[in-house]
Structures are given as structure tokens and as C-alpha cells.
Amino acid sequence: MAERADRRVSHRSYVSYIDKSREYYAAHGYEVPYQWAAFDDVPFTKLAKPLAHSNVAVVTTTFLHAEDAPGNTPPVPKKVYQHPVAEMPGRMFTEDLSWDKDATHTNDTESYLPLARLDELVESGRIGQLNHRFFGVPTEYSQRKTGLDAETIGEWCREDDVDVVLLVPL
């Protein structure tokens, strides 16, 4: 950290997610600061077959929306879920997620759940097929829970013979 003659700087001078997270956890009594996941070996691999012959699935962090849901709550519990692509939702529940709501909105579902665009890519032959269902996973602050959700989605992808997964977080 840079030091100035008139004061010692112990934190970044701009808003830092890392510093804010550490301060948040310390203020709530956690003795050990939050530990971010880090991977020395990224488990990516080359496609086993061309994209034009691949089954592509989508994973989103948004939830299905129901007009009659009480109090702006998601109509499904905040847990990992699957939903048929044939029943493509026109709206998703995003009210409880955090993003710069002054700079953008979530009115365009295709911007974070691009099922119609992926259908166009199937029609043009760029991808083989869009998986018959998409998957939703909550934004979690628990590495353990995120790992369990990933295992569930991995099982569903194996059931569906998915070749490629497109992660679209909000």
C-alpha cells in the first residue's frame, strides 16, 4: 500500500470488494477473514467434438418469476433447479440480486438467459443443439454449498449428455 507523509494508508483508496468483504466478516464476529476460491489448475479441456455437434446447456443465477408470488419473493425456493427450455420464461426473478441498478436493468431476459439467441445458433448450425432444459443456481456465499450445487448440475448435465455448459451469472 502507498504511504503518504501525513498518514499511513492501510487500505486501498478506492472501494475494494476484497476490503469491504473482510470488514463485513470482521464486523460480524468472524475470526478468520473470508477466503476466496483459488485454483492453480483450471479444469478446462478441449471439446471432445466440434461445437456444431455439441449439446449446449445454460446455467443462470436468476430464478423463475411468478406474477402471484407474495412480497416479491421467488416462486421457487432458493435452491438449484432445472426448467424446460420449451417453456422459456418471459421474465425472471432478479429483485434480490445485486448489480448497478442505476446503470442497467434486467428487463431484457435474453441478456442473462440467452435461450432465443442460442436457438438461432442451432438454426444456423453454429451449435449442435440447445439442451432441453436449463439450470438455475443461487448466488451463494458458501464455497461448500456452491460445490454441492455444482455437483447437482454436473449430474443433470451427465443425464442429458451435455457437452458444453454456458454459465451466465447476474
For 112-157, give the DSSP string: TS-HHHHHHHHHHTSSSEE-SEEEE----S-HHHHHHHHHHHHHHH
Least confident of 1-5, 40-44, 59-63, 132-136: 1-5
Task: Give percent of the chain above pLDDT 90.
Answer: 32
Q: What digits encode the pLDDT tens for the residues 107-140?
A: 888 888 899 999 999 999 999 999 999 999 877 6
Give the list of residues 6+ apart from residue 99 with CB closer than 8 angstroms, or none: 106, 170
Q: What pLDDT shows up at residue 14?
A: 63
Based on C-alpha coordinates, what's the Rg of the chain?
20
- 168 burial (CB, 10 Å; 0-12 / 13-18 / 19+) is middle
* Nearest residue to 57 via CA among 110, 154, 135, 136: 135
User: Cell 475470526 belongs to which residue?
Assistant: 31
Residue 49's closest CA among 156, 168, 162, 159? 162
Domain boundaries, the chain: 51-168
- Least confidently predicted of 55-59, 68-72, 103-107, 143-147: 68-72
Cell matching residue 17 = 470488494
Of the pLDDT bands very low, low, confident and very high (cuts 50, 70, 90), residue 56 is: very high
What pLDDT sits at residue 1?
46
